[in-house]
Chains A and B, each alone.
Chain A
Amino acid sequence: MTATEAKTDTIKPGMKVMTMLEAITDAMRTEMRNDDRVIVFGEDVGKKGGVFGATLGLQDEFGEQRCFDTPLSECGIIGAAVGMAVYGIRPIAEIQFLDFIYPAFDQIVSEAAKMRYRSGGEYTCPMVIRSPYGGGIRGGHYHSQSSEAYFCHTPGLKVVIPSTPADAKGLLIASIRDEDPVMFLEPKRIYRHGKGEVPLGEHVVPIGKGRIAREGTDVTILCYGAMVSVCEAAAEESAQHGRSVEVIDLRTLVPLDEEMVVASVQKTGRCVVVYEAPKTCGYGAELSAIVAERCIEHLEGPVVRVAGFDTPFPYTLEPLYLPDQKRVLAGIEKTFVW
């Protein structure tokens, strides 16, 4: 796409079929054109365009000042991003894999997340930390984990996870424009799976609003990221057995669209929570608690979690580790027969 094409697109937005990965690149490109404060950096994001290719073409278009490689230090990447954000530019920091974010954990939870609060609002930290996460690429435990819960547990961070190409673009643009630090977690398994229509140019999906991916009346599935399509498939299969399943794609984990969740479960009376991360203390535990607190008199069965096992992420046995359609179906059944 050339710059002139994009301009016309901005005026009259059309649609284009893209993978999630392309949509993510498109979001960054769009915002970098819109706002010269936006810059992108991380390991291998320059010439190579990122190990997944999410930043392909950005250095060519915007130069080395605005899209550049860093030394191999996540701590430095996020620490510098905090300083930049405090100073007044809008960094998008890529962490190559979420599994490598821990050297920067301190910077994220102690610094970025608390900057606004601790300075009484004087200093703020509007920045986006993009990172591929989750399993499905044969990456063993250091290229597969889903550690969203750590970040959801930190007040001051927003946590956003798209599940479709269009949402990926719209949510990323919203994240870049947000005044708070956003963890933008990208389900790498579906980076190139299934294309979708994505609006060209401006496209914003607001943070904090869920999406009803499929309507239904008998049971609600709460899910996000790569699990959404797994749950949709399970819902489809369940429909053949006469169950009407509603699938909610949360899109934003913090702040959660609690009203959508509560309204759906109050309607269906049953709830399955699906996530890839280890079951214990995962984000699904929070969802289950909310449902228990706010929907108890509507519930007709137990709230069921379908999740990763409480083990480190395996290599060879990965296909068994990841929640799949069968396990989601079994979860749905548990809400009826208990």
Chain B
Amino acid sequence: MSELLTIIDRDGKTQKGEDPNLPPEELKRLYRLMVHTRLLDERGLALQRQGRIGFYLQATGQEASHIGAAYALKDSDWLFPAYRQPGILQLRGVDLEKVISEWFGNDGDTSKGRQMPVHYSYREINFVSISSPIGTQLTHAAGAGMAAKFRGDDTVFMTFCGDGGTSSNDFHSGLNFAAVYKAPVVFVVENNGWAISVPQRSQTSSESMAIKAQAYGMPGIRVDGNDILAVYRVCKEAVDRARKGDGPTLVETVTYRMASHSSSDDAVRYRDAKEYEAWQKKDPIARFQLYLKHKKLWNAAFETEVIESGKAQITAAVIKAEARCNLPASSMFDDVYMNLTPQLKAQRQELMDLIAKGGVGAECGHFPL
């Protein structure tokens, strides 16, 4: 149960017969996505440090884990993400300006500035609104899977949580429901070793996260989360199983949170530097780069092009997003219900009247987490 499935070894070579043999263009695309995801994260953190956005959360070190997983889906399949899978946005082609507008919470944000940064929602790519309470998406995915099954369509649902998320109520109910109803769901636990300052050993006494699947009667597979091909292969099998009607799978991707929990956290206070350094050597992007090198798909020029194009796209998007307008005060009252209630109308009027007189607005401090 605790064996770890790996395809690309340290030298970038693949084990015999394990390589999924993706076409060269696809391999290069995956590499580009990983690099761009990391660049986007770097920019997000920089903007936060400069005080231009309020909060940021990076997925650094986990690019293979979540991009590899989502790559196993068809575009028509749905995602119920947690907050650490930004690579999926680029994989599914969300306009960067939209993504970055979400950080600013301006009028280009599809969530209308109602959520903290990185809590995306993109209906056009079947990417369901992220919520901060840990784990709640797991039951949603189970329910959506049940619904698809009732309707007889062949959509597959992929949902993510962290190692910490396995302790949540919804992990228990979500996996139990999915298994009992054989819902077409793939549960991806990105085990990055930490839940803010709580290490895995204080989170659970289970041998692994994958073994938890047994409690629900579904297969649980443990895969090297820094090996994008291994993650892809395992998830592809799980997605195929789900689509065939064979029910859910739990995939544990073993990876590492290279950054602090978020822009508000300082991991140095509770984490051993040696552990970090050890994982730095296992960087998923470097590993995949070696693999591509072996396949003669990577060279310095390609690298430069990937990085430069990524930076340029991001910079352009930041400029456009930052130039956008703030949301009107009245928008606060929309979308509570489909229609405004009489009470909300009155409250909106009251606020507009006060604003007309000027000077309304409380002072706000900083986010600690």
Point out residues on A near B: beta carbons under 8 Å.
43-44, 46-48, 51-52, 69-73, 75-76, 96, 99-100, 102-103, 135-143, 188-189, 192-193, 230, 279-280, 309-312, 314-324, 326-327, 330
Contact = CB atoms under 8 A, between A and B. Distances in A.
A72 B135 CA distance: 10
Nearest to B169: A103
Contacts of A75: 169
Contacts of A139: 116, 367
Given A140-B119, A320-B360, A71 B132 contact: no
A189 B365 contact: yes
Contact of A138 (B134, B203, B364): B364
Contact of A312 (B203, B336, B351): B336
Which label, helix, strand, loop or mixed, suits the secondary structure of the A interface? Answer: loop
A31 B269 CA distance: 26
A210 B249 CA distance: 55
B327 A317 contact: yes
B361 A320 contact: yes
Given A138-B365, A140-B119, A326-B354, A316 B167 contact: no
A278 B332 CA distance: 13
B231 to A, nearest CB: 23
B197 A47 contact: yes
B255 interface: no
Nearest to A106: B169
30 contacts: A44-B196, A47-B270, A52-B368, A70-B198, A71-B164, A71-B167, A72-B168, A72-B198, A100-B134, A103-B168, A136-B362, A137-B364, A137-B368, A138-B54, A138-B366, A142-B116, A230-B362, A279-B343, A309-B333, A309-B351, A312-B114, A315-B105, A315-B116, A317-B329, A318-B362, A319-B361, A320-B355, A321-B332, A322-B364, A326-B359
A317 B341 contact: no
Query: What 9 A-B pairs have minimum CB-CB distances, sorted nearest first?
Result: A316-B113, A142-B132, A48-B197, A316-B105, A140-B116, A322-B362, A72-B164, A71-B167, A319-B361
Contacts of B159: none
A43 B359 contact: no
A103 B173 CA distance: 12
A137 B365 contact: yes
A139 B55 CA distance: 9
Given A47-B197, A327-B354, 5 more contacts: A72-B164, A138-B365, A309-B351, A318-B362, A322-B362
B367 A138 contact: yes
Given A319-B361, A320-B351, A99 B132 contact: yes
Nearest to A192: B365
Interface string B264-308: 110001100000000000000000000000000000000000000
Contacts, number: 161
B198 A44 contact: yes
B326 interface: yes
A317 B343 contact: no
A43 B133 CA distance: 13
B62 interface: no
**Most chain-A CB neighbours within 10 Å: which of B106, B203, B264?**
B203
A4 to B, nearest CB: 27
B347 interface: yes
A71 B131 contact: no
A140 B198 CA distance: 24
Interface of B: 54-55, 105-106, 113-116, 119, 131-135, 164-165, 167-169, 195-198, 202-204, 264-265, 269-270, 326-327, 329, 331-333, 336, 341, 343-344, 347-348, 351, 354-355, 357, 359-369
A53 to B, nearest CB: 8
A71 B331 CA distance: 38
Nearest to A317: B332
B364 A135 contact: yes
Contacts of A316: 105-106, 113-114, 326-327
Contacts of B198: 43-44, 69-72
Contacts of B336: 310-312
A174 B66 CA distance: 48
Contacts of B164: 71-72
Given A51-B369, A72-B165, A142-B133, A324 B344 contact: no
Contacts of A100: 132-134
A294 B264 CA distance: 48
Contacts of A99: 132-133
A315 B119 CA distance: 11
A139 B365 CA distance: 9
Contacts of A319: 361-364
B155 to A, nearest CB: 28
A48 B197 CA distance: 6
Nearest to B365: A137
Nearest to B204: A71
A44 B351 CA distance: 39
A317 B331 contact: yes
Contact of A310 (B264, B344, B360, B368): B344
Contact of A318 (B326, B333, B348, B364): B364
**Most chain-B CB neighbours within 10 Å: which of A47, A140, A230, A309?**
A140
Given A279-B347, A316-B105, A73 B168 contact: yes
A20 to B, nearest CB: 13
Nearest to B353: A330
A73 B202 CA distance: 12
Nearest to A73: B167
B339 to A, nearest CB: 14
B190 to A, nearest CB: 14
Contacts of B202: 69-71
A99 B269 CA distance: 25
Contact of B361 (A71, A141, A314, A324): A324
Contacts of A309: 332-333, 344, 347-348, 351
B160 to A, nearest CB: 15
A142 B362 contact: no
B139 to A, nearest CB: 12
A172 to B, nearest CB: 19
Given A72-B134, A317-B327, A327 B360 contact: yes
B329 A43 contact: no
Contacts of A135: 362, 364
Contacts of B364: 135-138, 189, 318-319, 322
A142 B116 CA distance: 9
Nearest to A136: B364
